[in-house]
Structure 1
Amino acid sequence: MNSPKLLALRLLLSLLHCPFCLLVTVSSSKPQVEVHEHTDAVLTCEFRTEKDQNPRIEWKKKGKSVTFVYFNHKLAGSYAGRAKIEGATLTIHSVTQKDSGEYRCEVTAGEDHVNLGEATVTLSVLVPPHVPSCEVPNSVFVGSGLDLLCRDKLSVPPATYRWYKDNKALATTAGTPYSIDTSKGTLTLQSVSKTDEGMYRCESFNSVGAPKSCVAQQLHVIEYPWNLAIFISGTAALVTLLFFCCLCVCVCRRRGCCRKDQKTKSTKSFNPPPPPPPPIHSLKHYKQTHSFMI
């Protein structure tokens, strides 16, 4: 594949050897083509040669790698059944978003002094808005922050977004408690109140087709009940108390407070018990075997 620098060098050398020769020239009357999805795209390519009346024509598409569209007088790959060549102009039927990209028309005239010329055509396939995906939670507590999301990844050019509450378009002003990012489709409620409850839906639109909207979804705003608040505060207080007690025990053990008590208790527990009194029969025997005279 010839680079532009190599082509320019070959052109300069040919002009030096034959300054009055005609050169192969390739151009496009419409280098930027925009068409709607599922319509025909015409990529024009005009050429002029010096001598060769039957030059070789090729179309290639540039991407991560270069692929052939028209090669050796045949349409290649997926273009075989849905494209045609008239002269050097390429027509692609029923284009989709996958057909968007940069195409190159190359004309090779073997009998000419400068035998290669090329022209580039960029194809953009426009896609109307699709039904966006909307993320609206079923319920939220009063005072919470909340983001409502809306996405349409298929439209070309990229869609912009509009939010509705109870079928009324939301507009941001200096005093509104919410904000809308029209390019990302995000509706942000800084601190939810009871007045924010309602039916929410999002609409995506661009310059290609009619706007599309998702199905409206209900947002419920829940207030904290008093018994729940008391339960939460009581639980927090109990956890704090237990933590404080554990901390005190740990500090006491590190300072050795608990060890002294354990030594004292262990010392007392090991004192031997007093000896038991002698048996009664031993006392009787003692009295019988001894006598005292007065």
Structure 2
Amino acid sequence: MIASVALLIFIQSIPVVPVTVTSRSPRVEVHEFSDAELSCEFKTEKDRNPRIEWKKKDKDVSFVYYEGRFVGSFQERAKIEGATVQLRQVTQADAGEYRCEVSAPADSITLGETNVTLRVLVPPHTPSCDVPSSALTGSQVELRCRDQHSIPPAVYTWFKDNRAMPIRQPNASYTLDEFTGVLTFQTVSRADSGQYHCEAKNGVGPAKSCQGTLMQIDDLNVAAVVSGVLLVCVMLCICAVAVCYARRHGYFSRHRGRSFWIPQCHGAAHISSQNLNRTEHTQHSGYSHPPKEPQDFKHTQSFML
């Protein structure tokens, strides 16, 4: 009897552990199109058959594993062992933060959870390169290189004539940002002519390069620019002189708000003067024939044939 009481007291003195949920790997990184394991381990106080749920926290929270089965796009490519989920052929759509929830209604603490972040790594793609085909000496020129798909973001190396350009070089005529892929020449010279291409790499897969493009640097033709400016000035002067000459000799005149040109021809002048005289006579004469209306006609005499 005394032994039984002592055993009961011993059992009651043992600390009771409520439901607990943990993960061996809270952060998971895998290559695209490979498999990923989302670890979730739990212990319960009394409940031997707890309810397990997996959710994905994106813009909204969506179910992954619910009521004993996978839902949505996870149905055909996921399996669960205990509470740990195996995902096959992961893509960028699978990247994000997942939450494992274990519900034990019989325990003093009924709910436990843990979070697992999945990051899907993507090797570099062939970068897009923007290289001008020509430029003038003394001008500022930018060459751009960008890969928008690689995860983690790629770093960039520029090559001139298949030789890597150092990122930092004393007295260099250019600056290069390896993280943005921008190669800037503050003032280009003929020595900067050559074939340029860019390489992107992020340590996930093999580096990728764009096709080389020839950039030609030409000297500014000062003589041609000066000649062109002088030619434009001469043409403007000629136009100004022509307009002044036309105004002085009456080629531009105003008649009732309209401008017209009167040719200097004797025959035309004679005809125009006759027309003007005839118009003035019509306007100043006090007589005009009234129109005849059909109802104004009256028979003045009747006769028979």
How many residues get paired? 227
What residue is the counterpart of 1:55 in the other structure?
50
CA distance in 2, matches of 1:236, 1:118: 80
Q: Does 1:35 align with 2:30?
A: yes
RMSD: 2.4
SS in 1 for 2:148: coil
CA distance in 2, matches of 1:239, 1:81: 78
What residue is the counterpart of 2:208 in the other structure?
212
Structure 2 counterparts to residues 178-193 of structure 1, below 5 A = 178-193=174-189
Q: Which deviations, in whole Å up to 9, do the C-alpha atoms of 1:7-38 show, x marking residues without a partner?
A: xxxxxxxxxxx994330111001111111111
With over 3 angstroms needed to count, the CA separation of the structure-2 counterparts of 1:240 and 1:76, relative to structure 1, is farther
Q: Does 1:79 align with 2:74?
A: yes
CA distance in 2, matches of 1:163, 1:93: 37
AA aligned to 1:137 is: P
What residue is the counterpart of 2:172 in the other structure?
176
Q: Percent identity?
A: 49
User: Per-residue deviation at 1:115?
Assistant: 1.0
Q: Which deviations, in whole Å up to 9, do the C-alpha atoms of 1:89-131 show, x marking residues without a partner?
A: 0111111122111110000011112110001111111111111
CA distance in 2, matches of 1:158, 1:240: 57
With over 3 angstroms needed to count, the CA separation of the structure-2 counterparts of 1:64 and 1:236, relative to structure 1, is farther
CA distance in 2, matches of 1:141, 1:66: 56
Structure 2 counterparts to residues 10-49 of structure 1, below 5 A = 20-49=15-44
Decide which of 93, 115, 126 is 1:120's aligned counterpart.
115
**Structure 1, unaligned stretches of length 5 or more?**
1-17, 243-294
Q: What TM-score do you get using the length of structure 2 for normalisation?
A: 0.70
Q: What TM-score do you get using the length of structure 1 for normalisation?
A: 0.72
AA aligned to 1:216 is: G
AA aligned to 1:147 is: E
User: Per-residue deviation at 1:222?
Assistant: 2.2
Structure 2 counterparts to residues 107-186 of structure 1, below 5 A = 107-171=102-166, 172-186=168-182
SS in 2 for 1:134: strand
SS in 2 for 1:209: coil
User: Per-residue deviation at 1:87?
Assistant: 0.9
User: Per-residue deviation at 1:241?
Assistant: 8.2
What residue is the counterpart of 2:241 in the other structure?
none
What residue is the counterpart of 1:290 in the other structure?
none
SS in 1 for 2:226: helix
AA aligned to 1:57 is: I
**Structure 2, unaligned stretches of length 5 or more?**
1-12, 239-305
CA distance in 2, matches of 1:36, 1:93: 11
CA distance in 2, matches of 1:235, 1:56: 89
SS in 2 for 1:78: helix
